[in-house]
Amino acid sequence: MNCRSEVLEVSVEGRQVEEAMLAVLHTVLLHRSTGKFHYKKEGTYSIGTVGTQDVDCDFIDFTYVRVSSEELDRALRKVVGEFRDALRSSGGDGLGQMSLEFYQKKKSRWPFSDECIPWEVWTVKVHVVALATEQERQICREKVGEKLCEKIINIVEVMNRHEYLPKMPTQSEVDNVFDTGLRDVQPYLYKISFQITDALGSSVTTTMRRLIKDTLAL
């Protein structure tokens, strides 16, 4: 199946990693979340309301809009925090990436487990730079802010193409398409993962994964 893949790259200072990632992820999820579905008789449904809120970044001259859902925010912050910690402890030159993947579940028959079929993957590559003086940091604040503005415009451009989106599901199928676990909003099913790239430019995990896949393909 064709999966749409988008890659964004940012260069940030260490303490900006979290906010930059949250800004991008939240912007994508803003577009990929709807209100909660309420199914009624005869296969119709009504949709709840999605609220939004502005978030100012502390280390970047930037404000982004996110969905007003504390649960979603917490989930994202958790994984972004882990990414940030992994980046920090990796030493190296601070290269890493996070992937936000939207997928659909396809029920398979026994004994195979459900398949997760991605239909859109957003990859954000991060390059962490270390700055020496306060003046450089100030310039970085503004520069990264401008860069993020460009990224948001890119994201919106992609969203605007109105390419494949899963069909609106029936009530029985809704969990295969949407994450219905949140209380106030309903994003498409998503998963977030990250990798820390070593100096060679390829990550250990991807190399291993490639090896295994290649072996299995034989």
Partner 1 sequence: METDLNSQDRKDLDKFIKFFALKTVQVIVQARLGEKICTRSSSSPTGSDWFNLAIKDIPEVTHEAKKALAGQLPAVGRSMCVEISLKTSEGDSMELEIWCLEMNEKCDKEIKVSYAVYNRLSLLLKSLLAITRVTPAYRLSRKQGHEYVILYRIYFGEVQLNGLGEGFQTVRVGTVGTPVGTITLSCAYRINLAFMSTRHFERTPPIMGIIIDHFVDRPYPSSSPMHPCNYRTTSEDTGVTYPSVEDSQEVCTTSFSTSPPSQCVFTVTKAHFQTPTPVVTDTLRVPMAGLAFSHQLSSSRLSYQPAALGVGSADLAYPVVFAAGLNATHPHQLMVPGKDGGVPLAPNQPAHGAQADQERLATYTVSDGAHCAVTPSSSEDTETVSNSSEGRASPHDVLETIFVRKVGAFVNKPINQVTLTSLDIPFAMFAPKNLELEDADPMVNPPDSPETTSPLQGSLHSDGSSGGSSGNTQDDFVMIDFKPAFSKDDILPMDLGTFYREFQNPPQLSSLSIDIGAQSMAEDLDSLPEKLAVHEKNVREFDAFVETLQ
Identified binder of partner 1 from the candidate list 9, 114, 157, 175, rule CB under 8 A: 157
For the record, the structure tokens of 175 come out as: 């969990």
The pairing of beta strand 115-129 with beta strand 4-13: parallel
Alpha-carbon gap, residue 136 to 12, rounded angstroms: 12
Q: Which residue, 162 or 213, is less far from partner 1 as judged by CB?
A: 162
Stretch binding partner 1 (CB under 8 A), from 53-61, 83-91, 196-204, 207-215:
53-61
Q: Which residue, 8 or 196, is less far from partner 1 as judged by CB?
A: 8
Question: CB within 8 A of 1, min separation 6: which ones?
Answer: 117, 119
Taking a C-beta distance cutoff of 8 angstroms, is the pair 189, 178 a contact?
yes
Identified binder of partner 1 from the candidate list 4, 6, 35, 77, rule CB under 8 A: 35
Which H helix or E strand runs over 196?
Answer: strand 190-197
Within residues 107-146, the interface with partner 1 by CB under 8 A covers none
Please report whether residue 4 would count as binding partner 1 according to CB under 8 A: no
Q: How far is the CB of 40 from partner 1 (least distance, A)?
A: 11
Identified binder of partner 1 from the candidate list 8, 17, 20, 67, rule CB under 8 A: 67
Q: How far is the CB of 25 from partner 1 (least distance, A)?
A: 13
Question: CB within 8 A of 74, min separation 6: which ones?
Answer: none
For the record, the structure tokens of 94 come out as: 């601070």
Stretch binding partner 1 (CB under 8 A), from 26-34, 88-96, 97-105, 106-114:
26-34
